[in-house]
Structure 1
Amino acid sequence: MEINRRQFIYASVASPFFTGSVMAADAPAFVLAGKDEDGGYYSVLLDQNARILRAVPLPGRAHGAAYCRQSNTLITFARRPDQFAVAYAAETASPITVIQSAKGRHFYGHGAFSKDGKFLYAAENDFNNETGVIGIYDAQDRFNRLGEWQSGGIGPHEIRCSNDGKRLIIANGGILTHPDYPRQKLNLPDMSPSLTILDLPNGDLVNQVVLDPVLRQVSLRHFAEDHQGTIWVGGQYQGPLVDDVPLLFKLELASSVLEPLVLPRSLGPGIKQYIGSVAVSGQGSKIAFSAPKGNRVLIWNEQENSFEPGYSESDICGLAPMGSGFLMSTGRGKLIHRTTEQLRFQWDNHITVL
């Protein structure tokens, strides 16, 4: 997708941002990607009560976002295999720039800022060489691309800086794709998903955890880190629906083994072999896993070492900690927290906390 950066930024400034009943001076707390009733794509800012503050127009469908606290900047990334990421000021929604992926690369929908705010890391596909890379951008110089690191696998998807800022955590889904075949999966028999951890700021390999070959078709896509440094991972199985395979895992600090969580028999078939998002509660004791194809959210209570009653809603996927529980979003336009609201946007898969 080719974007005229200057024209898009001009159009964004000229276009009125959608503003809800909340005054623009209120601080944003969450950001989601969505499509409005007229088919336009936006990055949508919510306040701490999940009310819409404003929406920033985008040149196409987006997926995830990254937030820099130091500069109060937001980046919204295109959905694979598009090639744009839009940067804007979180407080005012003023456009900063449109980042175009490098030649021979496209974005995978996720990125992360370094803890000091100096660098932006983006999950990208080096599709000609059939490998995943992490693009490195100068967050203090209009996001000029400085270089890249190998992601340690194929199909890097969600990436996050660790809570202490010393590591970059990468979920390599293991699925080979190419923009000439936009949504096709080209290597299902030979997948090798992994969780890769790089040292920051030098990019040296610290740890890589690869699933047992028996589970090679469990694409590791999304994860969250709790307050103790445990990483909770959700997978998407590319094999038959009738297969009994684990999709939920945890990686303890300093471990090299992904430990599966055993689902009760009553829950297993209902998630349709697909986990769409993972979030840790504000207190850190509960982990939520969304299963949008199964229309439900699973909640693991780490203190009780068991699953709690979750939540059921059609096409529910986005998750973020909110109060003592979670903010949840659906592809049909609902935001669920203390109450359920039907809004003018159809939400994409993720919610980013500011």
Structure 2
Amino acid sequence: MVLSRRQFLLQGGAVALSLALPLPSRAAVNGKHASLLAAWQLPTAVYQVGVLSWKNTRLSTPYTIDSAVDLPTRPHGLMHLQGDEYLVIARRPGDWIMRLNIQTGDTARTWQDEDRHLNGHSAVHGDCLFTTETDVLTGQGVLGVRHRETFELLDVWPTQGRDPHEMLVLPGGVLGIDEPFLLVANGGIQTHADMGRTQLNHLPMDSSVVAMHPRTGRVLNQWTLRDSRLSLRHMAVHASGVVGIAMQAHHAVEADQEAAPVLALLDEQGLRPVAESIGVNGYAGDIATTPEGFVISCTKNDSAAQFDLQGKLLNTQQAKAACALASRGGEVWLGHQAGEDKNSFALDNHWLLI
């Protein structure tokens, strides 16, 4: 169902969307108009995806809603496919992929096979669409290899870990690899087919970052951290070739959780945690690049933080339930909860500049 802006406001009543703030940076913040593809949940518990227009304004809610489409369950990853077409992927354990044309509002949905569930992210390379998935029976992580246009499943490749989450398509010459490759973050969390998102934290985690050949699935390299309780989740690549990885800690002891770093950096020298990224309750939501390095949203600590390429903390900003991030040059859009209004609706984890 596609709603016009007027219909959306009439049906939503006096709702207030999460705020978007330009996060301070050493680069200039110009506050230009932006259009963002985002997902959210209404007070009625309905999930939607749509286009937001954002303007630099003193108003508490600087958005207008250009369009909205109802979703069957909670979404997670958003990805540009081609032209006006974008993909929306169900949150893990997910069972649908939706193609959305942001100009016409047309949608087409593909349902997932029962023997694997979707983990919320995708990437395209050549004629293929790749989706991160988990084998329901074995718990092993896999990539679903699909036809880019029809979404027909062509192959399934193991990711050499559990709970694969976000992936990037990187060019040759990055991370010491000569040819283009897929970079996959194995979150490492063990789950069970009959228990949905329930995490079996008493079992060993299997978290890693894996470089894979985009035509054969061959593993080109794999990196791990010493602390096996750090789940590698979301990634962004800087123009320098350094990859920033947002992490979520899963320690049994509260003190260990609080002391856990939530940002790791990957370059030709290897994968290393950022020591200055501790003290945020062990949880980083999204990540984006800035000219200086990276910005991460620390959802459980109600803040966002910027780091340079060496891992030095540059600045922080308080933002309740900080979540979605997008950046362009020196400007960053940070989504977070606006006040305590029970009628407001919640922005989801990710959004895209369009």
Q: Give the structure-2-normalised TM-score.
A: 0.81
Render the CA deviation track for 1:250-291: whole Å, top value 9, x for unaligned: 111x34x2122221xxx732x10111111102xx32310111
Deviation at 1:294, TM superposition (A): 0.5
Question: Deviations for 1:311-344, whole angstroms, at most 9, x for unmatched residues?
Answer: 11111111110452211112x358xxxxxxx995
Q: Which residue of 2 aligns with 1:4?
A: none
1:41 pairs with 2:35: no
Distance 1:321 1:85 in 2: 25
Shift of 1:65: 1.1
Distance in 2 separating the partners of 1:36 and 1:203: 40
Q: Residue 81 of structure 1 contacts residue 179 of structure 1 at CA under 8 Å; is this kept in 2?
A: no
- Give the match for residue 137 of structure 1: 146
Number of aligned residue pairs: give it: 312
User: Are the aligned partners of 1:137 and 1:147 in contact in 2 as well (CA < 8 Å)?
Assistant: yes
**What CA distance in whole angstroms lies between the structure 1 residues aligned with 2:52 and 2:220?**
36
Question: Which structure 1 residue ranges, 5 or more long, are not aligned?
Answer: 1-11, 22-26, 335-341
* TM-score, normalisation: structure 1: 0.81
State how far apart, in whole Å, the 2-side matches of 1:36 and 1:288 are: 27
C-alpha displacement of 1:58 = 0.9
Query: Partners in 2 of 1:179 and 1:130 — Cα distance?
Result: 8
Percent same amino acid at aligned positions?
Answer: 25
Give the residue type in structure 1 aligned to 2:278: G
For the 8 Å contact 1:192–1:211, the answer to whether it is kept is no
Are the counterparts in 1 of residues 137 and 193 from structure 2 also a CA contact under 8 Å? no
The aligned amino acid for 1:108 is N
C-alpha contact 2:225 2:271 (8 A) present in aligned 1: yes
Query: Relative contact order, CA 8 A, sep 6+: which one is greater?
Result: 2
Q: How does 1:103-142 map to 2 (within 5 A)?
A: 103-114=114-125, 116=126, 118-140=127-149, 142=150
- The amino acid across from 2:319 in the alignment is E
Letter in 1 for 2:189: I
Contact 1:35 1:346 in 2 (8 A): yes
Mapping of 1:135-284 within 5 angstroms?
A: 135-140=144-149, 142-162=150-170, 166-212=180-226, 215-239=227-251, 240-243=253-256, 244-252=259-267, 254-255=268-269, 257-263=270-276, 268-269=278-279, 271-281=280-290, 284=291
Amino acid at match of 2:265: K
Structure 2 equivalent of residue 309 of structure 1 = 315
Q: Is the 8 A contact 1:241 1:273 kept in 2?
A: no
Match of 1:300 among 293, 307, 312: 307
Q: Deviations over 1:143-174 (max 9, x none)?
A: 11112111221000111212569211111010
Distance change >3 Å, CA 137–CA 47, structure 1 → 2: farther
| Equivalent residues of 1:72, 1:90 under 8 A apart | yes
**Contact 1:166 / 1:199 at 8 angstroms: preserved in 2?**
yes
Query: Match for 1:66: what amino acid?
Result: M
CA contact (8 A) 2:307 2:315 kept: no
Q: Is the 8 A contact 2:260 2:278 kept in 1?
A: no
After TM superposition, give the deviation of residue 241 of structure 1 in Å. 2.7
Q: Is the 8 A contact 2:201 2:250 kept in 1?
A: no
**Displacement of 1:28:** 8.1
CA distance in 1, matches of 2:314, 2:293: 9
Contact 1:333 1:343 in 2 (8 A): no
- The alpha-carbon distance between structure 1 residues 48 and 16, as it changes in their structure 2 partners (threshold 3 A), is closer
Task: Indicate if the aligned counterparts of 1:197 and 1:207 stay in contact, CA closer than 8 A.
Answer: yes
The partner residue of 1:287 within 294, 310, 325 is: 294
Deviation at 1:347?
0.7
Q: Does 1:349 align with 2:336?
A: no
Name the CA distance, whole Å, in 1 between partners of 2:4 and 2:145.
Answer: 30
Q: Which amino acid aligns with 1:60?
A: T
Letter in 1 for 2:116: R
User: Is 2:293–2:306's contact at 8 Å kept on the other side of the alignment?
Assistant: yes
Q: Which runs of 5+ in 2 are unaligned?
A: 10-32, 56-62, 173-178
Distance change >3 Å, CA 28–CA 126, structure 1 → 2: farther
Q: How far did 1:177 drift?
A: 1.3
State how 1:318-333 maps to structure 2 within 5 Å. Answer: 318-322=324-328, 324-330=330-336, 332=337
